[in-house]
Structure 1
């Protein structure tokens, strides 16, 4: 049985005086899984993602990712954790338009202290593997949406993170580009990358993940689980 990459235990998060964004959620994601988190707006998907990424803290419960107790980290520790453990892909790419594609991709490595030569070689390797090596010296604004999302994926993988988080990665793409990104995520998972995709898109979930969980009103209400994986909501 593979080791868990994500372990949430009895996690709850409430903002102000409203209903809980998450309520007593427990979730395990093991190395090599590809998990889709589905649910309507306001169901708790973004809160779950932010807790896993160390961008927020639970009110109760624990969040452990690749052996790190994320809920106990301070601001500086959380930043180091994200550089080492998390690759993030966003709906709107979040690329820097005044930097070339290659310079966008090497940024995480530079922040982590990797030497310039090693970072450049790693970036070139990723861009070639993802089929966009010819755009290394181009600027993001010259690329299609699907190509920019591939650049964002390359950047997310730069530091070889154990976990790739994708937040609505096809939300700003046309159908063909979205399908392309779905195939890319499936290929990455087939190569062993652990992936969690937060999405409204059931077709994307079916195309690139091996397990789905559904959030409604802050709790897991339905799950399709692989062997050895558990999730619960009380």
Structure 2
């Protein structure tokens, strides 16, 4: 881990109409190589924070900077380019395309970014091999277990070598065995230097995978704790 900031939120608030603020004057810095868990119950603001970091939403006040990019100032097209270049996203329900093979699902971000075909295929094969699912390259996602599908989703997220991996409840749709498999995978990625932010309500996931936990309650940071663990 270095002291170089990957995420900088400064005085960030997000309000929707007359409702209470989903996020209320939040400031947070995440450095390169950190594995941070954002904890909180439903409605706490953690998903709003993820959407602001990913450029899927804009703050009502404050600034959002990720890997040197002022995300809060981007338009729709700029936000799409930013996500392709800087962000890998892993979702609770995988978001794979069932009519494409595993390899073609993983190749999608590279194709959208304009990566040369040969380079993209080499990168996809490397990722599938590293993640232990190379044998499934020609299979369709519906034939895989939940844990295997989440590995495919992680490979897709890493395809363009993102500065930041965002994981939104990555074990929420998995059985306990597959969940343990994904926890081990996140730890391996962190050990290799990947910066990870995991949004979850599951304390056991945070304890297993994060070296820092940030608890959000009613749109504000209630606790920010470093475990001191080395993974």
TM-score (norm 2): 0.97
Matched position secondary structure for 1:20: coil
Q: How does 1:121-160 map to 2 (within 5 A)?
A: 121-160=122-161
Matched position secondary structure for 1:177: helix
Tell me how far 1:225 sits from its aligned partner. Answer: 3.0
Tell me how far 1:68 sits from its aligned partner. Answer: 0.2
Q: Partners in 2 of 1:5 and 1:226 — Cα distance?
A: 20
2:15 corresponds in structure 1 to: 14
Tell me how far 1:116 sits from its aligned partner. Answer: 1.0
Q: Partners in 2 of 1:202 and 1:195 — Cα distance?
A: 16
- CA deviation digits over 1:202-230, x for unaligned, max 9? 11111111100000000000110378xxx
Q: Partners in 2 of 1:140 and 1:74 — Cα distance?
A: 33
2:192 corresponds in structure 1 to: 191
Q: Which runs of 5+ in 2 are unaligned?
A: none
How many pairs does the alignment contain? 227
- CA deviation digits over 1:26-78, x for unaligned, max 9? 00000000000000000001100000000000000000000000000000000
Q: Partners in 1 of 2:43 and 2:53 — Cα distance?
A: 17
1:219 corresponds in structure 2 to: 220
Q: Partners in 2 of 1:198 and 1:25 — Cα distance?
A: 16
Instruction: Determine if the alignment matches structure 1 residue 177 to structure 2 residue 181.
Output: no
Instruction: Determine if the alignment matches structure 1 residue 204 to structure 2 residue 226.
Output: no
Tell me how far 1:21 sits from its aligned partner. Answer: 0.1
Q: Partners in 2 of 1:79 and 1:134 — Cα distance?
A: 31
Q: Partners in 2 of 1:175 and 1:214 — Cα distance?
A: 24
